[in-house]
Structure 1
Amino acid sequence: MPDLQLIVALAVARNGLPKMMGILGCQGEIQFQAADSIASRQHLMWRSIWKCKIPPKLQHFLWKCCNLALPVHHLLRIHGMSVDVVYPRCSDEEESLERILFLCPHSIQIWKLLPLSFDFSVDQSISFVDWWMTLVERLGLKDEVQNVLRLVAFCCWGIWKAGNKFVFDGRLFDPPRVVSLACSSFREFKEAFNSTGVDLTSYQVGGPRSVLCPHPSPSHWLPPPEGIIKCNVDASFSSISHIGGGGAVFRDSRENILHVVVFSPFSASTATMAEAMCLRKVVLWVSTLSSDKLWFTCDSLLGS
């Protein structure tokens, strides 16, 4: 009952707002701080995430981390679910977000391998919010240091994905590879952002050596010029079975469907490879057509 007594005893300012506010700690405890201090800190925290030049997928991931909204076993148990709280990568430790991202020995090794002159060592009792805000407050939000936060965000996402692949697919958690993939994804996004001048924060990164793909949005089919056949190519890919598939639709300038091609399932290592193989199959297939004026389009920026 101590938390309840503290809540009841909270002082209220003349404007009706509380002078103290309680925030939920990483262990489920309530921590009380000055209301204006919490509001100012939360504003800085959300600004550091939503203004950070990273894909929305990573912004939403960081948002979930700060709101304790990821399904780690420690939180699931707090919400009444009967789960084994032990983290498989640390067989004697409880699975928490902090354990996964920066307290597990494998995660610690990842942060040490990251090409940054920054000390990522933390106290065992620190929460993700405090860890992230420590970085933000030490680095600031100026453009020249934004790259550090951006790389940290990509690394957090890489660690989370690697942990999931270990738990659900039994894949090895290889720290050097996680660092390499996080750095390459960060570098690709940064180069694309700087070279195009387009706000790529409306784009997603599909993974290691990924293709930048925009969020699905309402659009309409654009006909080709008179005398040209337009071919829309698309592929699908399963990261579990590593099987791809795909097909193509051919239309003329009057939107008449001329051909529809569907390919049998084929092996592919990545979604990008599936797109490329599907496009290759279409090019080989159209070599049998009499028309030599073709316009190929696909939803992968690599093939566009």
Structure 2
Amino acid sequence: MVDEEDSQLIQKVRPSITNVSDTLLWIHSKDGEYSVKSRYWIQHSLQSQNDQGEDIKSLSRSVWKLNAPPKIKHFCWRIVHSSSLGLKNLAIRGLKVDLKCILCGQTDETTNHLMFQCRVSREIWEITPLATPSGDTFLSNSLFQNLGFFLKDAGQRNYPYHLFPFILWSIWKMRNKLLFENYRQSIPHGINRACMDQTMRLEAATWQKRRIPTSNPDCSFKCFVDASWFSSQDRAGIAWSLTKDSKQIIQGSASIPPSNSPFEAEAEALRIATLEMQRLGYKDVNFKGDAKPLYDIFGQSSEGKTTWCDKSIIIYVKDIASVAKLHDYRFSYVSRRVLANVDSLAKIGRIRNAPNVIKWKMG
């Protein structure tokens, strides 16, 4: 027997229109392929969630909002998940090592001790321009409490809080310098290194903004696409509008069967729009919409990156990609305010339960 809730979801699944084959996907990897590594990480993640509740999930999200290079973000993410190669973690994995902290030699080297409680790291935090917690809070044995202070509103705080991940990185490099090269860097040198790394990061970002174009070369035609969704039980509405040189050529709208989510409705709207452009014979079209995760999928594919998406829209994505590669279709994200016209058309189509309507704009 099939559960009633599952039955309703299955009935809303729309098959492929372009006859693309079904695909088995492993939802815990970016490319949809199963690997032992992804299985290990999902098990580790579930164990961490059981131990720490929502703390680890919220901190992980905050890490990726940091204004720092990818390698430092990844390093901070590993700290949150207690997967850095510190001595305590090596011992947990079965390696026989001396657990004493490399920097101070006073106690076992846990992640929290090395980054926050060690005599050397505490002195670094006290000298930096960052305002550290008062009282004994900063000496807490809770790694998540210490990280939470700095990761609060990550990506929105101004200097000096952007310095936080660079200090963690500098402490780690000081520790490795002493461990592998038997060279102890001074505390002022470590702080200066963190400040220099952050300055170089800001300068590099500024230089890239000046040198790299902010948008791709424009196509001859632009097709604006949007969907209107009310609930999973009601019909949704979709609309699209084809323009050239800022002049509207043709527009279409319709109501569609109920979708499980607004995201699915957006995917169906884009699929219908691409199929209509194919049917009408238009090539070299740039489709624009405000469902950023959806349009990012096709933007990454055009750059040759391996891309995977939400399993709920995989059929839509495969149909769209199948049509797009034949007609030089491109896809880009735009803000909601640009879609006022098609948003209105989609709402009208949904409310009126309208059939597929196409109108040409003359003159």
* TM-score normalized with structure 2 length: 0.41
Which structure dedicates a bigger proportion of its chain to strand? Answer: 1
Larger Rg belongs to: 2
